[in-house]
A and B are shown apart, each in its own frame.
Chain A
Amino acid sequence: MNVALRDPRIDRPAQTHLGFIDCDVHPFFRTPADFDPFLSQRWREHRQSIGNRSRQGLARTSLYPRMSPGNGMRGDSWPKAGGPPGSDLGLMREQLLDLFDVRYGLLAPLVGGAAAERNVEFGAAMAVAVNEWQCAAFCDPEPRLKASVQITLEHEASALAEIERRAGDARFAQVNIPPRGLEPLGRHRYRRILAACAANGFPISLHLGGTSGHASTGGGWPSFYHEEHPSYVQSMQTLVTSLVCEGVLDEIPDLKVVMVEGGFAWLPALAWRLDKHWKRLKAEVPGLKRAPSEIIREHFWVTTQPMEEPERPEDMLRTIEWIGPERVMFSTDYPHWDQDDPRYAFKVPLPDDWARLVYRENAQALYRLD
């Protein structure tokens, strides 16, 4: 059977988009010294001398270099005054916030290295610094931007302290947790952190990426960025599988999980697979009391970027139906290379009620905005 050809429809925007909530925006420092005002003398010196060290060979960049300069930035987002893409609030307004009349942008700072830092005390200090910096450099001057609480997943005491510190601060919308940690997120060592997030009203957001020290795939380290990029999906799948099978979502019923930049077309088949094999292996997981697909439907959200590109564009509607239109939230991923333009990201028009949910209402409800 032949597969229908793609139809880009670039001349007709799929739907109106203005006033959306962007669930993935990346702020950057102009230089790493931007964090220094928020660090003690000791950690300032440590940052300048030893610096970030994570569980990988290259200290400052990825072993899978991106295909665009700036570790994968869109070519037209470099500020004229200097600094990397995402570091200039003015340009961010021009290219995103004002251009599309964005209601809110959820920040995902992939800077500071707090989560992956092997020196956990330094990591804790950087988490605090990045949280302060988000407010000072972005959220305070630009109230449309909401910060994400950075924590050190592998150091419970400081993670709990930081969650408590930011609880109730309306500038912070969620807690960022790396999807690649030493162990899958459902394991017991992370339980108190997850409980604290839920208790303090924070959804947790797993933004793709991260360095755990484990190979990117279960079959070892791939050679190419072409493989590394989709391998992030596997980390997301492990995350869902672990949280579901370990019974975490029934133990912490208020926990809400947002998977950011992981794509989403993979989620329905994972839910079907979990349902099928859970039936056979129920005895092993007594903490899992209901069908995994039910749990996923209740507790997991996905952001749209990088937009999936089904070979038949209308299959997008099936995918959203399988996941649930109330679980899908639009994101641009500004200013990365593979960011999505809200006018053209969907290659098939969404029904009006779905468009409202995806572009605004789901995020509004989840993050309690407005």
Chain B
Amino acid sequence: MIPAGAIDCDIHPAVPSVRDLLPHLEPYWREHVLRRGLERDNFETSAYPPAAPINARPDWKPPAGPPGGSLPAMQAHLLDPVRPAFAICNVIHGAQMIFSEDLSLALCRGINNWLAAEWLDRDDRLRASIVVPPHSPELAAEEIERLAGDRRFVQVLLLAMAEIPLGRRLMWPLYRAAERHGLPIGIHAGSTYRHPLSAGGWGSTYLEDYVSFAQGHAAALNSLLAEGVFQKFPDLRVVLIESGVTWLPASMWRFNKTWRGVRAEIPWLNRLPADIVRERVRLTAQPFDAPPDAASLTTILEQLGSESMLLFATDYPHWHYEGEAALPAGLPPDLVRKITLDNPLATYPRLQQETAR
């Protein structure tokens, strides 16, 4: 059902343990990590327990190690049978959560080096997002500058919920660097858990957390709009990754409604927020929190209001669909083509360029 040559905009290689990052750390940090015994950990995040059923499709588990931890397994499970033209690697890792800014950066650097050497160098179909320390926009900008020349890195990766809302001016050095290099900001579902997932406090279960990740996207998007990120960085594009999709229309209506009355608080936001969203924001379509019937699905797609917004993704190895049913049933063929090919190419211009290293 997935057409060959599709572009998969969200897959998750997993760092099996920090030990695998050692060869890719600078000597100082290699010794520092060993001194503290950090190589014995895998820095699993509360956002994505690797063995939770939702994160580990049964037929996508490798013989050993965490799901997503093996390239040969990924090739056998996904790349060879599905035959995407490209697949964009988004590594979710506890390095983004560490409080020490320099240690966070060092580990993120290691992850990016590991990605290049162990994944991008070994399979031409793979591309990647640059993993950056989200709480240190200046250091994140440095890492973006370091890797921008490797055109196999096509995006900058953030989690939707960090310490401050993503639109805040403190974050702007990161966006400046990304915009300069034509890199979209990929805002992935999840949280660094600096805060509970809403003002309602800390829930009990992973199910509650996972469902609440969609709220994180809504808040991040509102922050980007309200703070004028799209005005300040006119060439910046944003991709909301693994958000669930169907929450967006109600949020757009609410942004528009609030804006009409409150716009004088944020006068640089001088257009309907929903119009900006349709121009500058894209969403990966996995998971797709679909309504139960085809007519309602059609309505939701109409409410999204743009055929350019959705980007195909398997979200390998997360378990959101069976077999090859990666898209909701019944989509017209030219929409499928846009989702699997045209929209990703338009969103990630580097995919069409020579991958000089």
Contacts and interface: CB of A to CB of B under 8 A. Distances in A.
Q: Do chains A and B touch in the complex (CB under 8 A)?
A: yes
Interface of A: 1, 3, 67, 179-187, 210, 212, 214-227, 229-231, 233-235, 237-239, 241-242, 245-246, 263, 265-266, 268-270, 272-278, 280-281, 283-285, 306, 308-312, 315, 318-319, 322, 337-338
B199 A222 contact: no
Contact of B198 (A217, A226, A269, A312): A217
Contacts of A274: 211
A318 B253 CA distance: 14
Most chain A CB neighbours (cut-off 10 Å) among B161, B200, B210, B219: B200
B208 A241 contact: yes
B306 A214 contact: no
Given A223-B226, A223-B227, A226-B226, A218 B247 contact: no
A67 B264 contact: yes
Interface in B165-217: 165-166, 168, 191, 194-208, 210-212, 214-216
Contact of A217 (B199, B202, B305): B199
Nearest to B300: A269
B203 A241 contact: yes
A234 B202 contact: no
A216 B165 CA distance: 10
B196 A214 contact: yes
Given A181-B201, A217-B216, A219-B191, 11 more contacts: A180-B200, A184-B203, A218-B196, A218-B198, A218-B219, A224-B226, A234-B215, A235-B199, A245-B207, A269-B249, A272-B246
A277 B226 contact: no
A354 B15 CA distance: 54
B199 A216 contact: yes
B265 A225 contact: yes
B122 interface: no
B299 A184 contact: no
B319 A222 contact: no
B319 A218 contact: no
Contact of A241 (B211, B254, B263): B211
Contacts of B254: 230, 233, 263, 265-266, 308
Given A273-B246, A309-B253, A221 B165 contact: yes
B34 interface: no
B258 interface: yes
Contact of B197 (A218, A246, A273, A284): A218
A58 B46 CA distance: 33
B316 interface: no
Nearest to A280: B54
B53 interface: yes
B292 A272 contact: yes
A312 B300 CA distance: 12
Minimum-distance CB pairs A-B, first 5: A238-B200, A217-B219, A265-B250, A219-B161, A218-B197
25 contacts: A1-B306, A183-B200, A186-B204, A187-B204, A219-B195, A219-B219, A219-B223, A220-B164, A220-B165, A222-B226, A224-B265, A226-B226, A230-B222, A230-B251, A234-B215, A245-B203, A266-B251, A268-B291, A270-B214, A270-B247, A273-B289, A276-B287, A277-B210, A281-B206, A308-B250
B327 to A, nearest CB: 14
A273 B259 CA distance: 27
Contacts of B259: 226
